[in-house]
Amino acid sequence: MTLRLPVLNQTDWTRYRPGLERVKDALRRLGEPHQALHICLIGGTNGKGTVAWNLARNLGPDVGLFMSPHVWDIRERITKSGRFFDDHAWLEAYESAQNAGLRDEDLSYFEWLLVLALLMFRGAGLTRAVLEVGLGGRLDATNALEPSLSCVTNVGLDHQAQLGHTIRAIALEKIEIMRPNHPFFCPGTLLQDPVIKERIQRVGPETIAFDCSTTKAENNREIVAHILEKLRHPLSHWSLPPGRRQLIHWNGPVWLDGGHNPMAWLDLAHWFKEQTEPVHLVLALSGSRRSDEVLSILQPLAASTSVLDADYDQRVPLSAWPAHVRPVRIDELAHGPRPLLVTGSLKALGCIPLPVP
């Protein structure tokens, strides 16, 4: 990436600051660039990136997409009609923000990227955009906007330190992306909780519940189909974003999957069982993930299991892994057994020296 915007040198989580006022103030200074957009806001524990990716690609030409995190290239986060914006668009958006008096320290890394996305969408004359929630919902920067449609794909135990330690507490954070009288898609199971149901009824969206009893991968497609049906668009295309069950060829078949929590690993285990030949597993974790959790779910199904010895943001150190799990370096992966599956962290996948497909 050749861009030299100072704010983009920051990392995701070191500057994470929940709250909406900073973004709202920035948008006021910039002339409310989001107001011309019909926004679909997609949250949830898992699958929100896949749903946002496919929703944008099925809504027709000239649809903006804002996602996170990126795997190889920061430009993956802000696209139009499935294509990167060029460097000039990034620089022009950043200069517009600077001219409005915004300083690098005024916003977090994620908030800056959201603001730049909205400026680039406005500069491109877009009228529709799909945005993926970063973390949670209620205090996520994307919730400073006014979506015309919102969706929570599912709710699981993840990011408990920020969102709460129960499904109910996490769900109450995530559902706050709903808006009165606007379509709000959510799993039917949430409506079985009286506290969650009461909160949804009090806000008053047009609630559209869906069944989420299938595997995550199958459920994502059904969610997209439901939303497109509401928007009167056909589901004509389906693909996965970078780093989601992605097959590349690197001296043989290598699968890349950024699943990073138990819900994702259980879905990956279902995929494991469908493979016709044994898969060799390379694990990588970041943040507060625990090696015993992922090993208990995936190791019994693997032909062999290793841990990736690479430098990526907030990696779980090798010392946190059991002694029987052998470290493997990137250069060793190039000539290791196949088929290979590298999973556990989207940030770790970016260490693999491969171009974006």
Q: What is the CATH number of the domain that holds 216?
A: 3.40.1190.10
Is the per-residue pLDDT at 186 higher than 50?
Answer: yes
- Asked whether residue 84 is domain-assigned, the answer is yes
Tell me how far apart the alpha carbons of residues 256 and 8 are, in angstroms, rounded to a whole number: 25
- Asked whether residue 101 is domain-assigned, the answer is yes
What is the β-pairing status of strands 326-329 and 304-309?
parallel
What is residue 357's predicted lDDT score, i.e. its pLDDT?
43
Is the per-residue pLDDT at 272 higher than 90?
Answer: no
**Higher per-residue pLDDT: 322 or 352:** 322
What is residue 61's predicted lDDT score, i.e. its pLDDT?
87
Q: Stretch 148-159: mean pLDDT, rounded?
A: 90
**Higher per-residue pLDDT: 163 or 339:** 339
Q: Stretch 316-339: mean pLDDT, rounded?
A: 95
Nearest by Cα to 65 from 138, 125, 113, 121: 121
Q: How many domains does the chain have?
A: 2
Shared-domain flag, residues 278 and 224:
no
What is residue 316's predicted lDDT score, i.e. its pLDDT?
96
Shared-domain flag, residues 166 and 23:
yes
Is the per-residue pLDDT at 200 higher than 90?
Answer: yes
Q: Stretch 18-28: mean pLDDT, rounded?
A: 94
Contact 344, 294 (CB under 8 A): yes
Shared-domain flag, residues 220 and 258:
no
- Asked whether residue 236 is domain-assigned, the answer is no
Q: Stretch 302-307: mean pLDDT, rounded?
A: 97
What is residue 163's predicted lDDT score, i.e. its pLDDT?
82
Residue 122 is inside which H or E element, if any?
Answer: helix 109-123
**Higher per-residue pLDDT: 345 or 6:** 345
Shared-domain flag, residues 281 and 185:
no
Tell me how far apart the alpha carbons of residues 288 and 309 are, in angstroms, rounded to a whole number: 17
Shared-domain flag, residues 90 and 132:
yes
**Which of 230, 259, 287 is the endpoint of a domain?**
230
What is residue 4's predicted lDDT score, i.e. its pLDDT?
57
Q: How confident is the model at residue 1 (pLDDT cuts 50, 70, 90)?
A: very low
Shared-domain flag, residues 128 and 219:
yes
Is the per-residue pLDDT at 279 higher than 90?
Answer: yes
Contact 171, 160 (CB under 8 A): no
**Which of 230, 259, 291 is the endpoint of a domain?**
230
Contact 144, 24 (CB under 8 A): yes
Shared-domain flag, residues 94 and 36:
yes
Tell me how far apart the alpha carbons of residues 45 and 169 are, in angstroms, rounded to a whole number: 13
Q: Stretch 213-223: mean pLDDT, rounded?
A: 77
Q: Stretch 265-282: mean pLDDT, rounded?
A: 91
The mean predicted confidence, pLDDT, of the chain is 92
Q: What is the DSSP letter of 253?
A: E
What is residue 288's predicted lDDT score, i.e. its pLDDT?
87
Is the per-residue pLDDT at 355 higher than 90?
Answer: no
Q: What is the DSSP letter of 66?
A: E
Tell me how far apart the alpha carbons of residues 132 and 121 are, in angstroms, rounded to a whole number: 15
**Does residue 339 have a cis peptide bond before it, meaning omega lies within 30 degrees of 0?**
yes
What is residue 54's predicted lDDT score, i.e. its pLDDT?
97
Q: What is the DSSP letter of 86?
A: P
Lowest-confidence range among 16-20, 27-31, 65-69, 122-126? 16-20
- Asked whether residue 356 is domain-assigned, the answer is no
Assigned token pair, 256: 């890349």
Shared-domain flag, residues 149 and 204:
yes
Shared-domain flag, residues 218 and 325:
no
Instruction: Tell me the CATH number at 345.
Output: 3.90.190.20
Nearest by Cα to 235 from 224, 223, 246: 224
What is residue 13's predicted lDDT score, i.e. its pLDDT?
47
- What DSSP assignment string belongs to 176-235? GG--TTSEEEEEGGGGGSHHHHHHHHHH--EEEEE---S-HHHHHHHHHHHHHHHTT---
Q: How confident is the model at residue 101 (pLDDT cuts 50, 70, 90)?
A: very high
**Count of CB atoms within 10 A of residue 145's CB?**
23
- Asked whether residue 146 is domain-assigned, the answer is yes
Shared-domain flag, residues 168 and 289:
no
Is the per-residue pLDDT at 12 higher than 70?
Answer: no
- Asked whether residue 238 is domain-assigned, the answer is no
pLDDT in tens, 42-90: 999 999 999 999 999 999 889 999 999 999 999 999 999 999 999 999 9
Q: Stretch 213-226: mean pLDDT, rounded?
A: 81
Is the per-residue pLDDT at 171 higher than 70?
Answer: yes
Is the per-residue pLDDT at 113 higher than 60?
Answer: yes
**Which of 205, 230, 255 is the endpoint of a domain?**
230
Nearest by Cα to 49 from 71, 33, 27, 34: 71
Q: Stretch 102-130: mean pLDDT, rounded?
A: 96
What is the β-pairing status of strands 128-132 and 38-43?
parallel
- What DSSP assignment string belongs to 34-63? TTT-EEEEEE-SSSHHHHHHHHHHHS-SS-
| Residues spanned by the domain of 87 | 6-230
Using CA atoms, how far residue 78 sits from 63, 102, 355, in Å, is: 11, 20, 18
Shared-domain flag, residues 122 and 167:
yes
What is residue 7's predicted lDDT score, i.e. its pLDDT?
60
What is residue 214's predicted lDDT score, i.e. its pLDDT?
57
- Asked whether residue 281 is domain-assigned, the answer is yes
Residue recorded with tokens 């500057």? 15
Shared-domain flag, residues 104 and 156:
yes
- Asked whether residue 300 is domain-assigned, the answer is yes
